[in-house]
Amino acid sequence: MEITIKHIGTHINKGDESDVTNTYRVIDNGNEFIITFRTHRHGGNLGLAGQKGILYTDHDSNTVCRQVLDIGKGLRSEDRKR
């Protein structure tokens, strides 16, 4: 099993050095997908291209949360304890 990860970009959001998005290309046994990882003053979140929603950390409650936006149905969050 071979996994390769290549950093393909960095973006500073709105000129704020503490709000940065990094993008990575991952190849896992021939399956390719993109990961975006954003860090900011309030924590961070991780997105997987082709997947629904984002994962983010809530440091106040010590949980990892998944957030999904369903057009017409609103925002749904699922929390998982670390």
Q: Is the pLDDT of residue 74 over 70?
A: no
Task: Note the pLDDT of residue 47.
Answer: 78
CA atoms within 13 A of residue 21's CA, in its CB half-sphere: 11
Q: Which residue has the higher pLDDT, 72 or 44?
A: 44
pLDDT digits (tens, 9 = 90+) for 15-70: 888 899 999 988 877 778 888 888 888 778 777 776 666 667 677 877 767 777 66
Query: Which residue from 24, 21, 23 is spatially nearest to 6, judged by alpha carbons?
Result: 24
pTM: 0.59
Domain spans of the chain? Answer: 3-81
Tokens of 17: 């050095």
Task: Note the pLDDT of residue 22.
Answer: 94
Task: Note the pLDDT of residue 12.
Answer: 93
